[in-house]
Amino acid sequence: MEILIVEDEAEIAQLIQLYLEKEGFSCRTCRDGLSALQIFQEQKPDLMILDLMIPGLDGLEVCARVRQKPGAKDPYILMLTAKGEEIDRIIGLSTGADDYMVKPFSPKELVARVRALLRRTMRQGGQSQVYRTANFVLDIDQRSASRQINHQTEALDLTTLEFDLLSTFMSYPGRVWNRTQLIDKLWGSNFFGDERVVDTHVARLRKKIEPDPANPTFVKTVIGVGYKFEDIAVLNQS
């Protein structure tokens, strides 16, 4: 697994690299936002550890630009920053980060979070399934998703986490999922973040699949419980 560490403090970057390489990960470091985007385009890392306060383009801008250029290898993003206020955490997650850590941090906890994020990729191995509903087709093996709009098929431009979230919903249509269950399904038992990250990613998914995200048709809120997916003519084909 390839990891890009974007951190302008050399000692912190070296510490992160040391712990991750001990665990068998291949790491590369850079110190500013423009370099991060260049390396992302050239090497397509599996995961980015992205400091919020870096020279040039800040971490939020780098995260947003990476998410605007999805491809066959859409990286997980772990945002790392000295800022710990709730609003900064929410902004980071809404921009497209998958997890968030505040300095000072435990290197062992960081490694655990990296493993939890990358486990989602490993869980897909060996599957070859297609989930179909009246409006959507989701191919697990090809990692592709599409929907029908006015009798036309349109490819869905989903991030890795959005794809996993939609596949979870479509694999159990009508089931109500609470935040804890979705976190366990998507991040695994090593998740250390804020449960409200689920709400952020559900909102982002709705913007891409719902005709009216403010009044969702497919991913519905069950007040006081969680979320469920509803569509007609559900068919799961192996």
CA 79 – CA 7 distance, rounded (Å):
10
106 and 212 housed in the same domain: no
Same domain? 157 vs 213? yes
* DSSP code string of 3-70: EEEE-S-HHHHHHHHHHHHHTT-EEEEESSHHHHHHHHHHH--SEEEEESS-SSS-HHHHHHHHHTS-
Torsion of CA 46, 87, 165, 174, to 10 degrees: 170
For CA atoms 35, 38, 43, 48, the dihedral sign is positive
- Cβ(33)–Cβ(58) below 8 Å: yes
| pLDDT score recorded for residue 228 | 92
Q: How many domains does the chain divide into?
A: 2
* The amino acid at 165: L
Query: pLDDT truncated to tens, each residue of the chain (238 aa)?
Result: 899 999 999 999 999 999 999 998 999 999 999 999 999 998 889 899 999 989 999 998 999 888 877 555 678 899 888 766 666 666 666 677 878 888 889 999 999 888 877 765 544 444 447 888 888 988 887 788 999 877 788 899 998 889 989 999 988 778 889 998 898 888 776 677 778 889 999 999 999 999 999 999 999 999 989 999 988 644 444 3
What domain range includes position 57?
2-123
Residue 3 confidence (pLDDT): 96
pLDDT reported for residue 70: 57
pLDDT of residue 90: 64
230: CATH: 1.10.10.10
* pLDDT in the model for residue 40: 92
Please indicate, yes or no, whether residues 104 and 40 belong to a single structural domain of this protein: yes
What is the reported pTM?
0.56
Q: Tell which of 102, 123, 144 closes a domain.
A: 123
Same domain, 158 and 69: no
**DSSP reduced 3-state for 168:** helix
Same domain for 204 and 115: no
- Are 6 and 115 within one domain? yes
